[in-house]
Amino acid sequence: MGNLLPGEALIYEHSDGVVYAHYRDKPEIDRWIIGGDPAGVSRAEGNLFSYGEWSHMMEIAKENPTLKKQLQKAVTTYIILKDNT
């Protein structure tokens, strides 16, 4: 049963490609993500995009010089910031 509260009813919600659960009788406990579309879950978790969207960007960048250049700038910025933290 994991971390679930024994005997407490759950309500499941589907919103923007994400499935959430929350306790029916415990409003003080926030809902949590239990699954859904990977892109929707990534956005709900605060990520800019999912791994699938990142992979798709990489494919497009192979044919689009503008996107490739911008991604190279982003990677360079990431490397600089990563080394300074």
- Tens-place pLDDT, residues 25-70: 999 999 999 999 999 999 999 999 899 999 999 999 999 999 999 9
Whether pTM exceeds 0.95 = no
For the chain, what percentages of helix, strand and coil (3-state, to nearest 5) are there? 45, 20, 35
Per-residue tokens: 85: 């933290």
